[in-house]
Amino acid sequence: MTAPLKQTRFKIGGMDCASCAAKIDTAVRRLDGVADVSVSVTGASMTVSHGRPLNDDKVLRQVARLGYGLVKAGAGTGGPAAKAHDRAAHDHEGHDHGQQITEEAAGSSHLHSHAEPGQAWWRSRRAALTLACAAALLAAHGMGHLFPSAERWVFLAALLVGLVPIARRALMAALAGTPFSIEMLMTIAAVGAVMIGATEEAAAVVVLFLIGELLEGVAAGRARASIQGLAGLVPKTALVERGGGTVEVPAEQLGVGDVIVVRPGDRIPADGEIVEGSSDIDEAPVTGESTPKRKGVTEPVFAGTINSDGVLKVRVTAAASDNTIARVVRLVEEAQEAKAPTERFIDRFSRTYTPGVLAVGALVAVLPPLVAGGDWNEWIYKGLAILLIGCPCALVISTPAAIAAGLATGARRGLLMKGGAVLEGFRRITAVAFDKTGTLTAGKPVVTDIVAYSRDERSVLALAAALEQGSSHPLAVAILGRAKADKAPVPPALSAKAISGKGVEGSVGGVAVFLGSGPAAGERADMTQAQRLAVDSLNGQGKTMSVLVADGMVAGLIAMRDEPRPDAAAGIMALKAEGIRTVMLTGDNRRTAEAIAALLGIEARAELLPQDKQRIVGELQREGLKVAKVGDGINDAPALAAADIGIAIGGGTDVALETADAAILHGRVMDVARMVRLSRAVMANIGQNITVALGLKAVFLVTTILGITGLWPAILADTGATVLVTANAMRLLRWRG
């Protein structure tokens, strides 16, 4: 039996464009034992799948030959890659603690070198090279005017300033298995231009190429920062209780069980549970919730959220590497490496397209002079321009840039999708099957009705709460919660005891009190016809009834139900507005299910076992529907697995990220519709990008053959299209849903 593949993840330094990713992908695939490679430009990362242990040094050397830095993700400073260069970034783009990016042996010709730690992009080596090349070109213009006889040579010298590092990278890429790289096309075009006497224009084209590369790097950095900026929400230090006082320690050193003090206005430095105090918590930076939530003892809080008005003591429940934000960042980085079907198609297309462009350029340069007696210099010039026009960079980046921006903007709003294929798949969803408990409903009962008879509502609630004190039963918790919310007094109960299958009884203020089911209450007190009808009516609404008997008389009724989430009805309506069928699948009794379904306007299937839910998902698919299943990710595992897209819904660290294809971090039913809308927005953006990339090339191809445009507009057609496509994709970061 074939051994399962293992995966090793790396962070890459200086990779800012699609051609960079393609070269790295090809080079690493050539190593022995490597089964698959996934590279993300926006995530600056690479995952290598391998059957036997991977030699990290070989991967490092292979990538370093191309001029990029590499380190194993999560490696400490003592790893082999990290030792290669001690001055590498500890706090590189994305705040990857403990990860370093090496700049291995590329020297000053390292075209794609990134900025040093804390440096702005304009202080990077790439910016320095671009500036040096531009300065050399300006100097050549001045020297050419002063010494006309030396003009060709000074422009040649200016050209070499930028062309030598480009040609070196072209050679390294060719040796690593990518002969048709943008650097190779650029080198051929520049050398060809020199041979036909267009040295000045060749030098200008190299400068424009370097400026375009610099702009690509800036755009890629912005895309990368869009999700990595989440990591910056977590404060660097925390106040920890130790030895009867508090000490300030680095947040990354917090351990599970530590108790931290969070002052008003501070960001919470770790996921945890409140053990003392209460406060309004602003979760907008993490979940997108616009209204702060009041939280108190035993309630969870997340790293990066803001404590508004009270001093809190919080027990840490997750280490820094596993808090909510770290998990979201890690999930999105991994998702960016999983290519969408459209992206895979574009990649395959570009591998044929680039050699095709070379062939077309060669034919344009050779055929007209040979067949029609055209001028050799003129047609060689046009052929060289076509090489630059035909570079596939803009086309190749059109899809991953939009996918990455979509994944990032979704993650910032609590919408997590495991890869481009999932994001792309949401646009095709035509049916959504929801679990009920904990998905469409809050997952815990609340008191919905108090009907008073021999006593007033406040007294009915107070007596019931007195009997339920100390109980952890969900119905007891609901009654105690309502008493607390209504500020009803809860007197002590004497001799309180549970009666199996019936209810609970005791003495409250000298009065014998019983709280239990209707039949059990009927054994202790006479119920009128009106009271029995009231019980039946509330039961018919899917509510659980408790009857309170005091001094041998029916004092009142308390109805409880697991109520729909506040936005459930609006979320169902939003899906219907998108033309999507909705159905509720639940194991609950039919009466309760139909009552909830009527409130929400959704089709209901009740009294189902897990295998029944899976069967119904299959039936919907056989009807030709693309089905998304929304549930808790655990009890609904069979149905989640059977659906076209499985969506786990939950809160914070409890969400079942590993089970489903996508996850909603906070329990908003509306977020399912938002995922569909985001998918459609991303695919529309990809269509725009492909139109821009191919449209510009088509226009400049025609104008070049007609002799209207030349080499420098050709390079603008390439780099300009790449920048336009990337900028268009970045618009998705402002998507609001």
State residue 674's pLDDT score. 95
Strand partners, 246: 241
| In the predicted structure, residue 358 carries a pLDDT above the cut 90 | no
State residue 226's pLDDT score. 59
Terminal-to-terminal C-alpha distance of the chain: 47
State residue 18's pLDDT score. 67
State residue 99's pLDDT score. 35
Quick one: what percent of the chain has pLDDT higher than 70?
A: 85
State residue 558's pLDDT score. 95
CA distance 566 to 265: 28
Query: Which of 44-53, 552-561, 725-734 is modeled with the greatest confidence?
Result: 552-561
Q: Give 79's pLDDT tier (boundaries 50, 70, 90).
A: very low
Q: Looking at this protein, which amino acid is placed at residue 576?
A: K
Q: Where are the domains of the chain?
A: 6-72, 125-226+336-404+683-734, 237-321, 427-440+564-670, 443-563
**Tens digit of each residue's pLDDT (9 = 90 or more) over 203-239:** 888 888 888 777 766 766 665 665 566 667 788 899 9
Q: Give the 3-state secondary structure of residue 398.
A: helix
Nearest to 526 by CA among 495, 501, 549: 549
Q: Looking at this protein, which amino acid is placed at residue 53?
A: P
Count CA within 13 A, CB hemisphere, residue 688: 17
pTM: 0.71
| In the predicted structure, residue 610 carries a pLDDT above the cut 90 | no
CA distance 56 to 60: 6
- Find out whether 42 and 20 touch, Cβ atoms under 8 Å: no
Size (the chain), residues: 737
- Find out whether 515 and 547 touch, Cβ atoms under 8 Å: yes
Of residues 735 and 330, the one with the higher pLDDT is 735
pLDDT (mean) for 458-477: 89
State residue 316's pLDDT score. 94
Of residues 726 and 109, the one with the higher pLDDT is 726
Of residues 265 and 325, the one with the higher pLDDT is 265
- Find out whether 43 and 101 touch, Cβ atoms under 8 Å: no
State residue 95's pLDDT score. 34
Lowest mean pLDDT: which of 35-39, 549-553, 571-575?
35-39
Q: Give the 3-state secondary structure of residue 684.
A: helix
The CATH number given to 6-72 is 3.30.70.100
Query: What secondary structure does DSSP assign to 577-636, as a single string?
Result: HTT-EEEEE-SS-HHHHHHHHHHHT-EEE-S--HHHHHHHHHHHHHTT--EEEEE-SSTT
State residue 125's pLDDT score. 76
State residue 707's pLDDT score. 85
Q: Give 85's pLDDT tier (boundaries 50, 70, 90).
A: very low
- Find out whether 690 and 345 touch, Cβ atoms under 8 Å: no
Secondary structure of 73-118 in the HEC alphabet?
Answer: CCCCCCCHHHHCCCCCCCCCCCCCCCCCCCCCCCHHHCCCCCCCCC
Count CA within 13 A, CB hemisphere, residue 512: 6
Side-by-side strand order, sheet with 45-50: 34-40, 45-50, 6-13, 69-72
Q: Determine whether 541 is exposed, middle or buried from the number of CB atoms within 10 Å of its CB (0-12, 13-18, 19+).
A: middle
Scored b (16 or more CB within 10 A) or e, 176-188 reads: bebebbbbbbbbb
pLDDT (mean) for 59-80: 70
Of residues 598 and 290, the one with the higher pLDDT is 598
Q: Give 669's pLDDT tier (boundaries 50, 70, 90).
A: very high
User: What are the CA-CA distances from residue 511 to residues 88, 466, 467, 487, 517 (Å)?
Assistant: 76, 12, 12, 22, 19
pLDDT (mean) for 422-428: 91
| In the predicted structure, residue 88 carries a pLDDT above the cut 50 | no
**Tens digit of each residue's pLDDT (9 = 90 or more) over 438-459:** 889 887 889 999 999 989 999 9
Domain 427-440+564-670 has what CATH class?
Answer: alpha beta
Domain 443-563 has what CATH class?
Answer: alpha beta
Q: Which helix (H) or strand (E) covers residue 689, if one does?
A: helix 670-705
Q: Which helix (H) or strand (E) covers residue 495, if one does?
A: strand 493-499
Q: How far is C-alpha 334 from the geometric centre of its chain's CA atoms?
A: 9
- Find out whether 559 and 545 touch, Cβ atoms under 8 Å: yes
State residue 121's pLDDT score. 63
| In the predicted structure, residue 582 carries a pLDDT above the cut 90 | yes
**Tens digit of each residue's pLDDT (9 = 90 or more) over 153-201:** 998 998 899 899 888 888 888 888 878 777 887 888 888 888 888 888 8
Max Cα separation, the chain?
118
Based on DSSP, count helices (H) and strands (E) in the chain, helices before strands: 23, 26
The conformation of residue 448, written as its DSSP 8-state character, comes to: E
pLDDT (mean) for 365-378: 89
CA distance 572 to 541: 20
State residue 385's pLDDT score. 87
Q: Where are the beta strands (DSSP E) in 245-347?
A: 245-250, 259-262, 272-276, 279-282, 293-295, 300-301, 306-307, 312-316
- CATH for 237-321, among 3.90.1150.10, 2.70.150.10, 1.10.287.980, 3.40.50.300? 2.70.150.10
CA distance 704 to 247: 69
Q: Give the 3-state secondary structure of residue 564.
A: strand
The conformation of residue 390, written as its DSSP 8-state character, comes to: T
- Which residue carries 């869009």 as its tokens? 226
Quick one: what percent of the chain has pLDDT higher than 90?
A: 26
Of residues 266 and 395, the one with the higher pLDDT is 266
Query: Which of 139-148, 392-401, 429-438, 704-713 is modeled with the greatest confidence?
Result: 429-438
State residue 76's pLDDT score. 40
pLDDT (mean) for 1-21: 75
State residue 160's pLDDT score. 92
Q: Give the 3-state secondary structure of residue 554.
A: strand
**Phi, psi angle pair for 593, to nearest 5°:** -60, -45
> Is residue 632 annotated as a catalytic residue, yes or no?
no
State residue 573's pLDDT score. 96
CA distance 615 to 610: 9
- Find out whether 316 and 255 touch, Cβ atoms under 8 Å: yes
State residue 282's pLDDT score. 83
Q: Which helix (H) or strand (E) covers residue 241, if one does?
A: strand 237-242
Q: At what angle do helices 711-730 and 182-195 cross, to 10 degrees?
A: 160
Q: Looking at this protein, which amino acid is placed at residue 479?
A: I
Strand partners, 70: 12
Q: Looking at this protein, which amino acid is placed at residue 407?
A: L
Q: Looking at this protein, which amino acid is placed at residue 720?
A: G
CA distance 52 to 349: 31
Q: Give the 3-state secondary structure of residue 159.
A: helix
Q: Give 104's pLDDT tier (boundaries 50, 70, 90).
A: very low
Nearest to 425 by CA among 616, 253, 647: 647
pLDDT (mean) for 614-640: 85
Count CA within 13 A, CB hemisphere, residue 425: 20
- Matching fold, domains 6-72 and 237-321: no
Instruction: Determine which one of 16, 96, 271, 435 is catalytic.
Output: 435
The pair of three-digit structure tokens given for residue 66, joined into one six-digit string? 């191309």
Q: Determine whether 366 is exposed, middle or buried from the number of CB atoms within 10 Å of its CB (0-12, 13-18, 19+).
A: middle
Nearest to 534 by CA among 551, 552, 546: 546
**Tens digit of each residue's pLDDT (9 = 90 or more) over 505-562:** 999 988 999 999 888 898 899 899 999 999 989 988 888 899 999 988 999 999 999 8
Scored b (16 or more CB within 10 A) or e, 502-540 reads: bbbbbebeeeebbbbbbebbbebbebeeebeebbeebbe
How many Å is the Cα radius of gyration of the chain? 33
Of residues 244 and 219, the one with the higher pLDDT is 244
State residue 118's pLDDT score. 40
The pair of three-digit structure tokens given for residue 226, joined into one six-digit string? 């869009």
Q: Give 150's pLDDT tier (boundaries 50, 70, 90).
A: confident
